[in-house]
């Protein structure tokens, strides 16, 4: 019997990018035994779960997001036995394990695609999205790939184009084929039977396409945030009306949820990159019969500040109704938040952390975020990410947030590996290493540990409702309410001291970390630069 099947509500999920976490065998690449070796560290953060980025068998053209075997571990990461040990050791420490599932596409080296492309008449001929060229030989329509260029690649064997929303080596599966859906659900079940506690679903709104292959319309305003691309990418020039987020996706998510419901205590969090991402989040998480929770790219862009945060959070709250959000301000696809939001002090980073951890919803924290790591500056010759190589120099890709975790400032390669790492350790990161911050009472790491430990015992923050109040410029004030009790959160997101008028003086919440707390003068609250206060009303 699962003690708390709804553990995911309000949970904090720590994202591990295995390639860059810890190398246990000296080949310069992090692996699953390396994650197991660092479980005590993860547990010390007081998080609830670990999200593992892909470790499946893959040619690594997109570093694991191009899967060639959905039921095995790539040898660079270890073995299935290593994965089983990781689950067992994590569960001993009361840590859940969630794994990345890439359902919308596979690698072009997957046996399914090898068979599908071999002819127009084979058992898997319709497992991928194939289309004839236009009479002049050009692609079937104007759809674009996220990583640049047409979303269609020519295959000389079938004399047809196949759809790829990302790299040409990542062909899209045809979810309109019932056999494909059955196979994908079977692969998900494989990992549920192995004991995983949930799934992060990559690009989950990409599963279905418009079967009529209609052209996407142009976008009136070049957008970036909600679809997860930058403005120099022509992908942002279209409204993605027909290449993703199709109505059929809803029915598939219901089938997926039915499977998950057979394994009490398991959960899903979907990644949503869409023109109307907040509405899609609401659609995909409402009703209790689809995704458990979802996140978008809206807090993963360079946009920030009190007004932007208020608009984003209040908009999704107005749309979600009974749905559940999962908030993230950093991950393996975007520049590190310390750089992206121009954090110039540890207090500023702590303010962003306090906001993230007091919003209604669950939370994802990306490895190194708890150290306040900045975006690594890499030379072109160091780049591994095909996205960055393609769009250099305006966009340097995702390698800058994927450099190795820094464990010890006095060890070679910061204690990540005995060998030269697959990406270089960034020189500026050594002083932020775990060993350095562990010894400092006021470090960013210490703040994360303390705040997360305190938050675990605050049901009002885990599951309470949220309501925003009017407040001065560059500040956020909101309340969290549960079972007749109310807590106020006030954030000064500026470098200036501010005084915020309050309807009534608050009573400081007990045992909050040292960086939390302002000065109350009657019904006025004064917060220093990047100050935070949490009080019971």
| Catalytically annotated residues | 202, 271
Judge contact between 176 and 211, C-beta under 8 A: yes
Work out the burial of residue 321: count CB atoms within 10 Å of its CB; fewer than 13 is exposed, 13-18 middle, 19 or more buried.
exposed
Nearest to 472 by CA among 527, 412, 390: 527
Q: Confirm if 328 and 336 have CB atoms less than 8 A apart.
A: no
What are the residues whose beta carbons fall under 8 Å from the beta carbon of 345, sequence distance 6 or more?
529, 530
What is the torsional sign of CA 393, 232, 102, 85?
Answer: positive
C-beta contacts of 182-188 below 8 A and 24+ residues apart: 183/112, 184/103, 185/255, 185/256, 185/259, 187/70, 187/71, 188/101, 188/256, 188/259
Tell me: cis bond preceding 468? Omega within 30 of 0 counts: no
Contact 191, 256 (CB under 8 A): no
Region class of 349: left (phi > 0), else alpha (psi between -120 and 50), else beta:
alpha
Which strands, in side-by-side order, build the sheet including 524-527? Answer: 498-501, 524-527, 519-521
Count of residues making up the chain: 537
């Amino acid at each position: 019997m699962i003690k708390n099947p709804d553990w995911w509500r309000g949970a904090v999920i720590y994202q591990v990018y295995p390639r860059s976490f810890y190398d246990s065998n000296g080949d310069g690449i992090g692996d699953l035994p390396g994650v197991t070796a660092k479980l005590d560290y993860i547990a010390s953060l007081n998080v609830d779960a670990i999200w593992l980025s892909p470790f499946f068998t893959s040619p690594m053209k997109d570093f694991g997001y191009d899967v060639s075997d959905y039921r095995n571990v790539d040898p660079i990461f270890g073995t299935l036995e290593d994965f089983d040990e990781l689950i067992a050791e994590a569960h001993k420490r009361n840590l859940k394990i969630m794994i990345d599932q890439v359902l919308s596409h596979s690698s072009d080296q997957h046996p399914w695609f090898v068979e599908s492309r071999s002819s127009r008449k084979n058992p898997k001929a319709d497992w991928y999205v194939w289309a004839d060229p236009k009479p002049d030989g050009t692609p079937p329509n104007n759809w674009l790939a996220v990583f640049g260029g047409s979303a269609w690649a020519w295959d000389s064997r079938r004399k047809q184009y196949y759809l790829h929303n990302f790299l040409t080596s990542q062909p899209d599966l045809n979810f309109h084929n019932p056999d494909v859906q059955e196979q994908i659900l079977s692969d998900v079940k494989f990992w549920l039977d192995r004991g995983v506690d949930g799934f992060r679903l990559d690009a989950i709104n990409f599963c279905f396409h418009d079967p009529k292959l209609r052209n996407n319309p142009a976008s009136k305003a070049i957008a970036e945030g909600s679809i997860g691309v930058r403005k120099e990418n022509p992908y942002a020039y279209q409204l993605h009306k027909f290449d993703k987020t199709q109505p059929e996706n809803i029915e598939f998510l219901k089938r997926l949820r039915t499977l998950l419901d057979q394994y009490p205590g398991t959960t899903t969090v979907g990644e949503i990159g869409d023109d109307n991402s907040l509405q899609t989040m609401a659609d995909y998480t409402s009703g209790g019969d689809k995704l458990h929770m979802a996140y978008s790219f809206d807090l993963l862009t360079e946009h920030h500040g009190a007004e932007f945060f208020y608009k984003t959070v209040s908009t999704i709250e107005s749309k979600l109704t009974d749905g559940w959000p999962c908030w993230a301000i950093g991950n393996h696809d975007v520049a590190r938040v310390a750089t992206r939001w121009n954090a110039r002090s540890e207090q500023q980073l702590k303010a962003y952390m306090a906001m993230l951890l007091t919003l209604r919803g669950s939370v994802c924290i990306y490895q190194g975020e708890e150290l306040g790591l900045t975006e690594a500056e890499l030379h072109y010759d160091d780049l591994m990410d095909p996205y960055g190589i393609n769009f250099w120099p305006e966009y340097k890709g995702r390698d800058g947030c994927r450099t190795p975790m820094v464990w010890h400032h006095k060890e070679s390669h910061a204690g990540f590996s005995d060998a030269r790492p697959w990406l270089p350790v960034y020189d500026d990161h050594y002083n932020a290493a775990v060993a350095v911050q562990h010894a400092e009472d006021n470090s960013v790491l210490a703040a994360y540990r303390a705040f997360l430990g305190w938050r675990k015992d605050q049901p009002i923050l885990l599951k309470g409702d949220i309501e925003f109040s009017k407040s001065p410029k560059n500040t956020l004030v909101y309340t969290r309410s549960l079972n007749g009790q109310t807590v106020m959160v006030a954030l000064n997101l500026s470098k200036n001291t501010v005084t915020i008028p309050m309807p009534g003086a608050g009573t400081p919440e007990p045992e909050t970390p040292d960086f939390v707390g302002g000065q109350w003068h009657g019904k006025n609250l004064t917060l220093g630069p990047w100050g935070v206060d949490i009080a019971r009303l």
